[in-house]
Chain A
Amino acid sequence: MRHPAIVTAVAASLSAWLASGVSAQTPIDYPHKVVTLVTHSSPGGGSDVFLREMAKHLPKYIKATFVIENVQGGSGARAVSRLATAPADGSVFYATTPTYIYTSLLSKTQHGYKDVEPLVNFFTDSEVIYTRTDGPYKTLKDVIDKAQTSRGRWGAANPASLERQAAEQLKKAANVTPAVVSHEGGGDLMINVLNGTLDIGIGEIPELRPQLEAGKIRLLATFDAKRMEAFPNVPTVKESGYAIALDKFRGLAGPKGMPPAITKIWDEAVPKILADPDYQKVYRTESLVANFIPHDRYQGFVQNFGTVTEAFLRENGVLK
């Protein structure tokens, strides 16, 4: 044991985690009987599944019934408006993802991401760099080397997305100039990586899983800050020598000016929910990384994400 301090810290947090698991038997009282969770995704879409699973496990820790409301359309703008005009009493929340920041920045929405208040964060989706297994690339370095000697071909799922942002950042950090080609979503991108049109693609684990399990796709690196639990052999981009880490966050936001009593309940309850063994089983198979960010830090986190994204969009000529 070279680092006894780390071991003690891990042990301490483990025991704290166990203790929280034990005390989770009685749900915290909540001022509302019914809490509405709004999402911009359609039934069966990413955020919808996230909320529906969460709603199953929340009542164990917060004494309320949670219902999901799908407010589709306008790339999330309508859902954000629905939230911004709702009472700030803890009865309505919205499932946040980077989508609502992009929409706020790219169009003149009636209510933007600055008009709502981030509550707490639950998860980070792992973003990975992948290539085809029978291709010539074994490591991220091989890809960068190729981009230095000839024209690299990198792919991102959508033009205005975190994945494209990641590709542009990596380009800059590695000082190479490959073509960054955006596609019609993750499935379209994956085909072009599999058929050799592209050297690499940047995407999320769930959309890759069928081909990953079939052994057709090799993961080269992850943009997560730490290595992924399910793929401990895949290095982070940071380890590979490029100081980039992405947080594709998933959390909740509420209307502006929520009472501290409400935010305190969520600050207390969410770590417990994330430690719930039944819930863990569900979200781990979805490759979600538990990443609790409490209310006081989450606001700064989202504002910072917005500022960085805006700068990226301006730099690449998407915003004028």
Chain B
Amino acid sequence: MHSLGIAFDLLFGSPIILFSIVGLIWGIIGGSLPGISASITMALLLPFTYGMAPVQAIVMLACTYIGAEYGGSIPAILIRTPGTNSAAATVIDGYEMKKQGRAGEALGISLWSGVIGSLFGLLMLIMLTEPLSWVALAFRPTSYFALGILGLSVIASMTNGSLLKGLAAAVVGLMISTIGTDPISGVTRFTFGSPELLGGVEPVLIMIGIFAVSELMMQSGSRDIGGLREQVKVRLPSLSMMNRLKRSQFIGCLLGTFEGLTPGGGGSIAAFLSYNEAKRWSKEPEKFGKGSEEGVAAPETANNTVASTALIPLLSFGIPSSNSTAVLLGGLLIHGLLPGPRLFEQNADVVVGLYLGSFIATLAQIVVGILLLPVCVWLVNRPRAYLAGFILALILSGIYTLNTSLADLGIALGMGLVGYLMRRAGYPFLPLILGVVLGHMVESSYRRSLLLSGGDHSIFLEDPIAIGLLLASAVFVTLSLVREFRDARNAKLKDAHA
């Protein structure tokens, strides 16, 4: 009852609605600009929150996170460039739908799935934050290793026909992840003496380079087809479509919750995993990659779920599980709020305000998302040359604001070239991204585990979480390989008949 009283006070006594909606709007616009990730959008806002009351600042930052996760899907669908890292999986089917003239439908599905994901995530946040904080505790280095392997096992089903090319791309990704300070001994590796590389290559640079920069290079190499001529209007899914999306959204909710809870996960891994699982469990897996509605719904549900559930380890332990929550942690600390069990007793107003603000933002998302779309579409609808120049300038300045480092610009542009060559030679680049994102986690937790056991591999068998995750990976890899060989054989049979 006490918290209900606080909620009423916040709702009517202070302009919390205002802060949550402003945060949402800023998030959608920031998220829809390619190269400006959710964490950059939030970081840009951070200095402005210094003068606000703590609850206002935290609500605004959290709602920016929610908005950015939807905003990221807009350019992913319209121009094949994810606005945020976690919208990378949305590109696959979202852009296919756009090519088929179903951009509005794809955006509607993304918006609807975002709302579902946010609501589910919020429910989880409210229910689980206090009791479920032990999940983070139960994860040992052995469990993290197994989690990383599970993530990498996705590669087997991402290769689109050429397992060898997929594995080659993954190895390049894993190699990139070894740059920087050795996670165990502290020896510097492949930094060539440069202090800029001491902390390793940030995955965001690789993603921006591979996705956005190489896309701009591809576009500049083809004739201008006149941009996006058709009017795009958000078309929310019909009841029967909503029904069809349920399965993939449910998968997105589950994986989003899981990834949000475990540090090191984050929206992009959740989005890829749920895309993959949605395909595995779909009634029409053959539509994936060719404009499947479920292929948009699953990752967009997952990344919005993460935007809420990532707050669980943050609030209960003070552990940020993603870049965005790390920015939010900065916001909490600036206002003298210490996350942890005591936060719920001493700053109940902030916690309740955060729940309330997120709820308002989630509901407002449908209206604001539709109203803001013309602004975002107008931006995307400029003639291609202007748009490409504008996006490149945005990408470069966005990267520069990250660390104000010129070396980061060089890395992103270099990765753009790598991405261009990979596209030309027909290499899939999703395995490369996964290698970069997961390589460090797999390597460091593997070596940490062996250091703990004195070199004895049986330590992985003493951890039930690790056993479960490793078995799951083995099953996934086997199933994907069986499917791959069956498809190849079927194709051969068809050729023989023809």
Query: A: which residues have CB within 8 A of B?
Result: 42-45, 49, 71-78, 103, 106-109, 151, 153, 158-161, 164, 179, 181-184, 187-188, 191-192, 194-195, 197-198, 207, 209-211, 213-214, 313, 316-318
Contacts and interface: CB of A to CB of B under 8 A. Distances in A.
Contacts, number: 137
B196 A73 contact: yes
Given A74-B196, A191-B136, A210-B340, A179 B454 contact: yes
B330 A159 contact: no
B186 A107 contact: no
Contact of A211 (B182, B186, B195, B340): B340
Contacts of B318: 187, 207, 210
27 contacts: A44-B334, A45-B330, A49-B333, A71-B404, A73-B405, A73-B408, A75-B199, A106-B188, A106-B198, A107-B195, A179-B451, A179-B452, A181-B184, A181-B451, A183-B448, A184-B264, A187-B319, A187-B320, A188-B319, A192-B140, A195-B137, A195-B140, A207-B318, A209-B340, A210-B342, A211-B340, A318-B185
Contacts of A44: 46, 327, 330-331, 333-334
Among A42, A76, A211, A313, the most chain B Cβ lie within 10 Å of the Cβ of: A42
Nearest to B406: A73
A103 B195 contact: yes
Contacts of B317: 187, 191, 210-211
Nearest to A318: B186
Contacts of B136: 191
Most buried by A among B136, B330, B454: B330
Contacts of B184: 159, 181-182
Nearest to B136: A191
Interface of B: 43, 46-47, 136-141, 181-188, 191, 193-196, 198-199, 263-264, 317-320, 327, 330-331, 333-334, 338-343, 403-405, 407-408, 444, 448, 451-452, 454
Contacts of A214: 340-342
A78 B405 contact: yes
A93 B451 CA distance: 41
A159 B193 contact: no
A76 B181 CA distance: 15
A318 B319 contact: no
A211 to B, nearest CB: 7
Contact of B181 (A72, A74, A153, A159): A159
Contacts of B264: 184
A74 B405 CA distance: 8
Contacts of A192: 140-141
Contact of B137 (A74, A179, A194): A194
A298 to B, nearest CB: 24
Given A191-B136, A210-B340, A181 B182 contact: no
A150 to B, nearest CB: 10
Contacts of A160: 181, 186
Given A192-B140, A195-B138, A197-B141, A106 B405 contact: no
A213 B340 contact: yes
A168 to B, nearest CB: 11
Contacts of A198: 452
B130 to A, nearest CB: 12
A197 B140 CA distance: 7
Given A73-B405, A108-B193, A210-B317, A184 B340 contact: no
A109 B195 contact: yes
Contacts of A210: 317-318, 338-343
A191 B139 contact: yes
A176 to B, nearest CB: 14
Contacts of B403: 72-73
B28 to A, nearest CB: 23
B185 A316 contact: yes
Considering the complex of A and B, which 3 residue pairs feature the smallest CB-CB distances, nearest first? A210-B340, A44-B330, A159-B186
A77 B137 CA distance: 35
Given A43-B47, A73-B403, A188 B263 contact: yes
A83 to B, nearest CB: 14
Given A73-B407, A211-B340, 12 more contacts: A42-B330, A71-B404, A74-B194, A108-B193, A158-B186, A181-B452, A187-B263, A191-B137, A191-B263, A191-B319, A195-B138, A317-B187
A44 to B, nearest CB: 3
A184 B338 CA distance: 20
B172 to A, nearest CB: 23
A256 B204 CA distance: 37
Contact of A153 (B194, B195, B342, B452): B452
B181 A106 contact: yes
A182 B47 contact: no
A181 B449 CA distance: 9
A43 B181 contact: no
Contacts of A159: 181-186
B454 A318 contact: no
A182 B195 contact: no
Nearest to B403: A73
Given A49-B334, A107-B193, A179-B454, A75 B198 contact: yes
A317 B185 contact: yes
Contacts of A182: 183-184, 186
Contacts of B139: 191, 195
Nearest to B334: A44
A153 B195 CA distance: 31
